[in-house]
Structure 1
Amino acid sequence: MGSYMNEENIYRNPIIYADVPDMDIIRSKDREGRQAFYMVSTTMHLSPGVPIMKSYDLVHWATVNYVYQILEDGDRYCLKNGEDDYSIGSWAASLRQDSATGWYFVAFTCNSTQKTYIFMTEDIERGPWYRTTFPEMCYDNGMLFDETDGRKYIFFSQDCGDGIGTHDIYYRELFVDIDKHTVEYGDKRFVLHNTNYETPKQGLWGEGFHVYQHNGYYYIFVIQGQQWQRQELCWRSRSLTGVGRWDDEPAGDWTCRKVFVGHLYDADDNVYMKNNGIAQGGIVDTEDGKWYCFIFQDTGSVGRIPMLSPMEWGTEGELKDWPVIGTYLGEGTPFLYNKMPVISELPVRTKETVGEFVEDDDFENSIADYRCYDREDACVGDGEHDLNGSYLKLQWQWNHNPDNRFWSLTKRPGYLRLQPVGTSESIRTARNTLTIRTVGPVCDGTTVMDISNMADGMTAGLTVFQRQYGYVAVVMENGRKYLVMRKADNKDDAMGRCCAMEELKDADKIYLRIHCDFRDMKDIADFYYSIDNVNWVQIGEQLQMNYDMPDFMGYRYGLFAYAKEETEGFVDFDWFHIDVDSGTGV
């Protein structure tokens, strides 16, 4: 969703018009021996975490696995006792495959634990995954598996301690024991002082590390910039030897060049997306030797969305052996670093896909043919984290760790049952909110909910979820049911404000819909209900969505049920449908 192909095999950026930040992509072979691409992304506090996405053409993607079910256990990870993990969790994973053994590795940091995690598996689509942790933050790391000697490294940045936030680049060598499923790492080695090329005392930390080898060089891709004005830098060297401190004369041969800065243009040279927020990308090649750059764009409340651009390696002059991103403008004109085409040739000329990225769901249970990492020490005791025999489609993620005793696809086959977990005063503290990405530029999320088994004190319905949320729901009080629309008027308004309340009589089920418009960053949502799925009534006020901390995540649709007092009541969702207007007319 977000891209399309016509008969000339043309795609349109963004390749996914949804929140898929911090991508890392590799080319490999799938279980059937076909050339495929695998991608990881950031989903922070959601569970399961670190999605594994698959494509045959770099344009059409589907989620095929996750790295872990839950990363850690404890109050903050489970929305218990007033604690939460919003925006923290796992960040900016790096994905690599060892060509010698075929094993896959995913590395990332967790801001909650201040640790680095490396997961490994022989089968990226079906697992199982094995975990190693290190008591150090290898911030926004990128792994390098050296094809010349088989050695493995993890590159990262850390504050150098100068008091102004300057970050240095380091690496550690990784030592893998395939038989024991473990990874150890070696001493910290200094590479470069100050990841900001032009403004050493300003701007972002060194973020989004992607490290590669090509034609005798090592390349480190990293972003720099101030506030949301970002640009992609590439450092290059023939060895991994450090250059010494920034204020000294550089030693060694590390040099730097801007490889992406500016706007996103269309085929007619008109600005399509301004450069605000373009950040964090890397490169990948196709089987026939073409190269592509992937990078994401901050795009308001829908989130950070992935773009794809052709690239080449410079062949002469000052561009020789540098990555050159974009298109030629006229005969003999060199690549422009600030141009990335909206329309370009497909990397792989095929119309086969592995499924829709976000799709309708009738909540039919199935047998899972995948295994992500499950913490054995968390899956004991009262059953909170035990698998319950229900397997959702992989497009769904829970807000924080779920309590598996309070949801089911099996108690009423063909329905998702949600029962409130404990007590909550608002949706922000409610457990077991099941989320799915919104999709731009315009989308409708619709569901139908059986409310015949609700109990007093319950609230259940459909939300567009972020810190500044909105929802349409059914509330039961004193034996009566009411339709309500509630929204948070600002990012600090956890309780929200009731904008509309109507008594609901003689109805055992209710249809709910939220319409989202992300065009030109309007970022507005409208709320509807229906008794018969034919005649729809708008309710409450329009929500002005706002992409902000602490969630740091694009808006998601969510199905939820919470209660202000302990209850055995529940609701059953029959289906969830999403309709997307691509704005392309196709």
Structure 2
Amino acid sequence: MDRRRALTAAGGLATGAFLSLAGPSPTAASAPARVPAPGAPAPYTNPVIWQDFADIDVIRVGGTYYASASTMHYSPGAPVLRSYDLVNWEIAGHAVPVLDFGAKYDLNGARGYVRGIWASSLAYRPSNRTFYWLGQIDFARTYVYTATAVEGPWSRLTTISTPYYDAGLLVDTDDTLYVAYGNTTISVAQLSPDGRDQVRTQQVFTTPSSVGTLEGSRFYKINGQYYIFLTRPANGQYILKSSGGPFGPYTMRQVLLDLRGPIAGGGVPHQGGLVQTQGGAWYYMAFVDAYPGGRVPVLAPVTWTSDGWPVVQLVDGAWGTSYPGPAVPTPPRQVTPMTGVDTFDGTSLKPRWEWNHNPDNTKWSSGNGLTLRTATVTNDLYWARNTLTHRIQGPTSTATVQLDFSAMRDGDRAGLALLRDSSAWIGVRRDGGVTRVTMVNGLTMDGSWNTTGTGTELASTAVSGGRVWLRATADIRPGSARPGTFFYSTDGTNFIRLGPSFSLGNDWRFFMGYRYALFNHATQALGGAVRVLRFELSTP
């Protein structure tokens, strides 16, 4: 995590990565776009996921790829993504089921905005067929969670008193567990065989002042040599290499710096991980700063020099917007799309959903729709518990909600928000027995994540009956005007624009991108409820 920018990063093991290395040159190589040969994999387009998944750690276990990402104050935390081809991904589960790191993560007297799950590490240990997630929380200590399947259940294995900042976990070929971590000063720790304790830690590298900050460790053993993949936020990637063991000595080489990325108006690809396909090809999965949408994953092939250094393959001197697809076996099935319809027909939520802080589980239920009972009396959405969020799909997308508001009480506010440190919403408010659909903006936070504005109503109209459809559209292209717009309908077919466009903020300091958010909170007294009958995320 960048001290200058105040947060980020991750680590991991590319399963089956112990092969001979060969390749062209010690710097990023540029090549023209290639036309696939007959029978070759179809080309893919970057970003491979146009949603907010930052600080990526990517591994392969057999024929399946997994990736983890930062989630800050959202719960459950640390999503685990799954793919069979490195291009099409689904959310399989979460490694941190609940943010039980203090009352602030419950919105109980304090708030955890821009805290919580930062850059962390995902690894697989073949000896016990177990996945490991490792990350530090609040600079206080490190937590380790394990599961035998990424869908869970995940459980906490241990806490370690050393906070491994921006950690990368390596399962060595002899089954020893090592962790690379740190900012500018990079250290390596060895864990006990059961992974519960630290056996040894040692500083292994100090970043030259000419380079600046390095962090975001990924730790690998490839062809008998040890590599620590490091980020210079937010515009560079470097690698350390040791032939003398995990504790060094290490030499450093630049992988990329100020490289043009594949998203217009976005930043430099950086801070991700290396992974090898079953066929021996290598790829680098990084993210691009692309606010207001967040930090978005991109993928590029990697080759290696004859003396064992990685080289990102470029297109016309830039990270390509398109490359030939990875040559992998036919996937066993299609992954679950990250867009589409959810009718909340099961008793648990699908992995696409994350709460803003931990929820009060007594105040919501799923099955025949999502029921949100008011959990907080407040006029501030940033203090309201049980706000349920969904990542926005880029470059533009629309969220449509069918809402049953018949059980609302006076003073209640429920609806669909575009949620970040500057927010707006469309929803239903009930006051004095009168129900209105309203559009509100001006919900704001300062740089310390204290509320500075609780919202201003800009448009409203009376609504009768017990159901309404609410719609929000979001344009999260970094170089665009970044508008968010709101609509409502009383029949689900004819939608009416309500209120002016809302300009989505693109300041990086909140780190997480905008999300669609379902909320219901009281301003007078608890007891009211709404039911979300249907949620649809669609793209043009």
TM-score by length of 2: 0.87
Matches within 5 A, 1:91-490: 91-111=118-138, 114-147=140-173, 149-158=174-183, 167-177=184-194, 183-194=196-207, 198-200=210-212, 204=213, 206-225=214-233, 228=234, 230-240=235-245, 252=249, 254-264=250-260, 273=264, 276-315=267-306, 320-327=307-314, 339-347=318-326, 348=328, 350=330, 352-365=333-346, 390-409=347-366, 413-488=367-442, 490=444
Q: Deviations over 1:487-510 (max 9, x none)?
A: 126543543432424342422111
CA contact (8 A) 1:422 1:565 kept: no
What does residue 24 of structure 1 align with? 57
CA contact (8 A) 2:225 2:245 kept: no
Matches within 5 A, 1:482-521: 482-488=436-442, 490-492=444-446, 494-519=452-477, 520-521=479-480
Measure, in 2, the Cα distance between the counterparts of 1:88 and 1:462: 24
TM-superposed deviation, 1:237: 1.4
Query: Residue 77 of structure 1: SS of its match in structure 2?
Result: helix
TM-superposed deviation, 1:93: 1.6
Q: Deviations over 1:367-422 (max 9, x none)?
A: xxxxxxxxxxxxxxxxxxxxxxx30111001110000111012xxx4111111113
Measure, in 2, the Cα distance between the counterparts of 1:88 and 1:574: 32
Measure, in 2, the Cα distance between the counterparts of 1:328 and 1:472: 43
Query: Residue 107 of structure 1: SS of its match in structure 2?
Result: strand
Q: CA RMSD in A?
A: 2.3
With 560-569 and 11-20 compared, the bigger mean Cα shift is at: 560-569
TM-superposed deviation, 1:552: 1.9
Q: Deviations over 1:110-137 (max 9, x none)?
A: 12x6211111223333334332111222
With 489-498 and 543-552 compared, the bigger mean Cα shift is at: 489-498
Measure, in 1, the Cα distance between the counterparts of 2:126 and 2:417: 44
For residue 545 of structure 1, the aligned residue among 504, 523, 539 is: 504
Q: 1:263 to 1:563 in 2, by over 3 A?
A: same
CA contact (8 A) 2:266 2:291 kept: no
Query: Residue 254 of structure 2: SS of its match in structure 1?
Result: strand
Query: Residue 104 of structure 2: SS of its match in structure 1?
Result: helix
Percent identity, aligned pairs only, is 29
CA contact (8 A) 2:226 2:245 kept: yes
Provide structure 1 residue ranges, at least 5 long, that are not aligned to the other structure: 30-34, 159-166, 244-251, 267-271, 330-337, 366-389, 582-586
Measure, in 1, the Cα distance between the counterparts of 2:502 and 2:421: 12
Measure, in 2, the Cα distance between the counterparts of 1:571 and 1:274: 39
What does residue 78 of structure 1 align with? 106
Measure, in 2, the Cα distance between the counterparts of 1:358 and 1:468: 24
TM-superposed deviation, 1:548: 3.8
1:65 equivalent to 2:70? Answer no
Measure, in 2, the Cα distance between the counterparts of 1:502 and 1:97: 53
Q: Deviations over 1:53-78 (max 9, x none)?
A: 11100111111121122131543111
What does residue 15 of structure 1 align with? 48
Q: Which amino acid aligns with 1:192?
A: F
CA contact (8 A) 1:191 1:240 kept: no
Provide structure 2 residue ranges, at least 5 long, that are not aligned to the other structure: 1-35
What does residue 523 of structure 1 align with? 482
Query: Residue 529 of structure 1: SS of its match in structure 2?
Result: strand
Measure, in 2, the Cα distance between the counterparts of 1:183 and 1:400: 27
Q: How many matched pairs?
A: 496
Query: Residue 292 of structure 1: SS of its match in structure 2?
Result: strand
CA contact (8 A) 1:292 1:309 kept: yes
What does residue 52 of structure 1 align with? 80
Q: 1:74 to 1:118 in 2, by over 3 A?
A: closer
TM-superposed deviation, 1:241: 7.0
Measure, in 1, the Cα distance between the counterparts of 2:434 and 2:539: 35
CA contact (8 A) 1:264 1:274 kept: no
TM-superposed deviation, 1:567: 2.4
TM-superposed deviation, 1:263: 3.4
TM-superposed deviation, 1:511: 0.6
Query: Residue 428 of structure 1: SS of its match in structure 2?
Result: helix
Measure, in 2, the Cα distance between the counterparts of 1:398 and 1:298: 23
CA contact (8 A) 1:212 1:219 kept: yes
Measure, in 2, the Cα distance between the counterparts of 1:265 and 1:95: 25
What does residue 88 of structure 1 align with? 115
TM-superposed deviation, 1:85: 0.2
